[in-house]
């Protein structure tokens, strides 16, 4: 059974194939619409956390491809509370053709995949956010060209789930990756080691530092995310103080390439990790990035649910 749980699981050629498929599906949709490749197919969307982009873009992706999605809020299934995660997987997968889940613990995603009869898609866990990662690679390719070797992505802020997927994606495709943030908030060591392994295979250069200057110098893509992720709300105040020197603002952008693009997975906490001026400025690709969630997820769905692809 094939799932979509982490970019780390994909061979570089598979990742590239998904990106190409996303490009095709996007172009097709812009020309007037996609054919009903998922006619009669259904997707259950299980959420333990709030969402705007993931929820709406998956729902619309299914509709555009002729299928249907069912939203299940955190209060309905109560994953692991009302019913065990394996039992939820066993039951939902008797009804639907795929399951997308947004969870707290990544072990819940792994358990869903283990006990499901149908493909499971990770719609964000505390470990990673592979749907975001694929959409972001699509946005980078659109802005910087398909040859990512030697281009540099700088992630500024918390070594979180989004940073993890970007590290894996960049290293699989040979892109240089730097992460910069306050000491003690870097990527987990097992994640970094995995990134180093992929980088050794692809030729990516890696940097993890608390010093902004070397991380931002020569950067083609500046990326940031919230300083406190969902589930870390109690730490938000303390983190706002600790991360303050790492705000993406005009002064910081001046240190990057002139044609640098600025990315944020959203939701943004304007005035904290990013200023209004940058979020709404000429380097920002935030809205294309959000749109690309839908196109990337169409590629994931078609890859998992359609047997014969041209």
Catalytically active residues are: 102, 129, 132, 225, 265, 293
Q: Tell me: does residue 225 bind ligand NVA (CB under 6 A).
A: yes
> Are the CB atoms for 227 and 161 separated by under 8 Å?
no
Candidates 37-45, 98-106, 148-156, 226-234 — which segment interacts with ligand NVA by CB under 6 A? 226-234
Element (H, E) at 82: none
Question: Minimum Å distance from CB 209 to ligand CP?
Answer: 25
Query: Considering only CA atoms, which of 289, 215, 296, 228 is closest in space to residue 255?
Result: 215
Question: Minimum Å distance from CB 1 to ligand NVA?
Answer: 26
Q: Out of 191, 262, 265, 305, which residue is the one contacting ligand NVA (CB under 6 A)?
A: 265
Name which of ligand NVA, ligand CP, none residue 160 binds, using a CB cut-off of 5 to 8 Å depending on partner kind: ligand NVA
Question: Minimum Å distance from CB 13 to ligand NVA?
Answer: 28
The 10 Å Cβ neighbour count of residue 66 is 14
Question: Minimum Å distance from CB 150 to ligand CP?
Answer: 27
Identify which of residues 123 and 174 has a Cβ nearer to ligand CP in the complex: 123
DSSP string, 223-289: EE--SS-TT-GGGHHHHHHHHGGG-B-HHHHTTS-TT-EEEE-S---BTTTB-HHHHTSTTB-HHHH
Q: Tell me: does residue 268 bind ligand NVA (CB under 6 A).
A: no
CA atoms within 13 A on the CB side of 193: 3
Identify which of residues 53 and 152 has a Cβ nearer to ligand CP in the complex: 53
Q: Tell me: does residue 162 bind ligand NVA (CB under 6 A).
A: yes
Strand partners for 153: 177, 221
> Are the CB atoms for 65 and 22 separated by under 8 Å?
no
Identify which of residues 231 and 267 has a Cβ nearer to ligand CP in the complex: 267
Residue numbers of the site for ligand CP (CB under 6 A)? 51-54, 124, 132, 265-267
Name which of ligand CP, ligand NVA, none residue 52 binds, using a CB cut-off of 5 to 8 Å depending on partner kind: ligand CP
The 10 Å Cβ neighbour count of residue 89 is 24
Question: Minimum Å distance from CB 265 to ligand NVA?
Answer: 5
Distance separating alpha carbons of residues 306 and 98, to the nearest angstrom: 12
Q: Tell me: does residue 226 bind ligand NVA (CB under 6 A).
A: yes
Identify which of residues 4 and 115 has a Cβ nearer to ligand CP in the complex: 4
Candidates 6-14, 56-64, 105-113, 154-162 — which segment interacts with ligand NVA by CB under 6 A? 154-162
DSSP string, 7-69: GGGS-HHHHHHHHHHHHHHHHHHHTT----TTTT-EEEEEESS--SHHHHHHHHHHHHTT-EE
Q: Tell me: does residue 236 bind ligand NVA (CB under 6 A).
A: no
Residues at the interface with ligand NVA (CB under 6 A): 124, 160-162, 225-226, 229-230, 265
């Amino acid at each position: 059974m094939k799932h979509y749980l982490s970019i780390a699981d994909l061979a570089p050629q598979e990742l590239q194939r998904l990106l190409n498929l996303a490009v095709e599906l996007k172009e097709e949709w812009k020309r007037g619409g996609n054919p009903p490749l998922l006619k009669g197919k259904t997707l259950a969307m299980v959420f333990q956390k709030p969402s705007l982009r993931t929820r709406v873009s998956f729902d619309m992706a299914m509709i555009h491809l002729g299928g249907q999605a069912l939203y299940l809020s955190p209060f309905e299934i109560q994953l692991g509370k009302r019913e065990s995660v394996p039992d939820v997987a066993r039951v939902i997968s008797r009804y639907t053709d795929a399951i997308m889940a947004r969870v707290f613990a990544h072990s819940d995603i792994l358990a869903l995949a283990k006990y499901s009869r149908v493909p499971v898609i990770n719609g964000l866990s505390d470990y990673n956010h592979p749907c975001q990662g694929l959409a972001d690679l699509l946005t980078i390719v659109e802005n910087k060209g398909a040859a990512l070797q030697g281009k540099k992505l700088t992630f500024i802020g918390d070594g979180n789930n989004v940073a993890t997927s970007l590290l894996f994606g960049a290293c699989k495709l040979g892109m240089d990756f730097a992460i910069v943030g306050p000491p003690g908030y870097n990527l987990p060591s097992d994640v970094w080691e995995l990134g180093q392994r992929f980088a050794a295979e692809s030729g990516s250069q890696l940097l993890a530092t608390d010093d902004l200057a070397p991380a931002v110098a020569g950067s083609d893509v500046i990326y940031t995310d919230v300083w406190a992720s969902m589930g870390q709300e109690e730490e938000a105040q303390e983190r706002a103080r600790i991360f303050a020197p790492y705000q993406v603002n005009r002064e910081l952008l001046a240190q990057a390439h002139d044609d640098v693009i600025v990315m944020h997975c959203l939701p943004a906490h304007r005035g904290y990790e990013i200023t209004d001026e940058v979020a709404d400025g000429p380097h920002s690709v935030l809205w294309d990035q959000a749109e690309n969630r839908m196109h990337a997820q169409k590629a994931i769905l078609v890859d998992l649910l359609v047997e014969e692809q041209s």
